[in-house]
Amino acid sequence: MLRLQGISHHFGGLEVLRNIEFIVAEGELLGLIGPNGAGKTTLFNVITGFVHPQRGRIFFRDRDVTGYPTYRLARLGLVRTFQGARTFANLSVEDCLRVARYHRVAGSDRGGELEKVVRLLDLDKFATGQASSLTAGLARLLGIAMALSTGARLLLLDEPVEGVAPIVVQELGEKIRYLKSLGLTILMAEQNLHFATTISDYAYVIEKGRIRFQGTMQDLSHDDAIKQKYLMI
């Protein structure tokens, strides 16, 4: 569904991404694992059109989308969340979802499933309350629900459990697994390595803008060097 080919980027003299290449298959939950400052968010910004790569190509559903603006990518179904929750704080939960639905992907037909997802995410009971009144965990769920409301075909989650309590981490993991069971394709950047390795089908380990390792969760758990340096398990 998504293919990156030789993505490189620098800010001034600082190289932040170097020759990044990987594929996200349809229906897969792929983890992009690495410490803070590894280049994960910059790569997400490149994929979603906030930053144009200096080198390389981006293909989404067999279309070369390199250089596409963010709104155009979203209309094709490539949608992201952000570190922390970005919602419309002065709007109700219901209105946040209504705004997101207004920008639905052309031809998307996820409406029925979407209502089920919103109920599963326990947001229906908060529908009339302001987004600013939600706890950190619920605000993350609202951000995910807003992304899904567009009819997203590929969802990029940027550190979805950063700064939330352990019990919320577990709840978010359950919700994300459920979304995958609906057939959603997910690319997740995460530095909570235990969380990422227990939820992902496949992983890429990124450090200083380079892919250092790729493999299944079983591969990761059997590689002593990777465990000691990145996973600490």
The Cα 216–Cα 218 span in angstroms is 5
> Nearest Cα to 97, choosing from 120, 74, 128?
128
Inter-residue contact 42 to 99 (CB < 8 Å): no
Gap between the terminal Cα atoms of the chain: 31
Output the pTM of the full model.
Answer: 0.86
The Cα 35–Cα 189 span in angstroms is 10
pLDDT at 185: 94
What pLDDT tens digit does each residue of the chain (233 aa) get?
999 999 999 888 788 999 999 999 999 999 998 888 889 999 999 999 999 999 999 999 999 999 999 889 988 999 988 876 667 777 777 777 777 776 666 555 555 545 665 665 667 777 777 777 777 778 888 888 888 878 888 999 998 888 777 888 888 888 888 888 888 899 999 887 778 878 888 889 998 899 988 888 777 777 777 766 665 54
| SS3 state of residue 85 | coil
The Cα 65–Cα 159 span in angstroms is 24
pLDDT at 199: 87
Architecture of domain 2-231: 3-Layer(aba) Sandwich (3.40)
Category of 27 on φ-ψ map: left (φ > 0), alpha (ψ -120 to 50) or beta: left
3-state helix, strand, coil in the chain (%, to 5): 40, 25, 35
Inter-residue contact 38 to 17 (CB < 8 Å): no
pLDDT at 9: 92
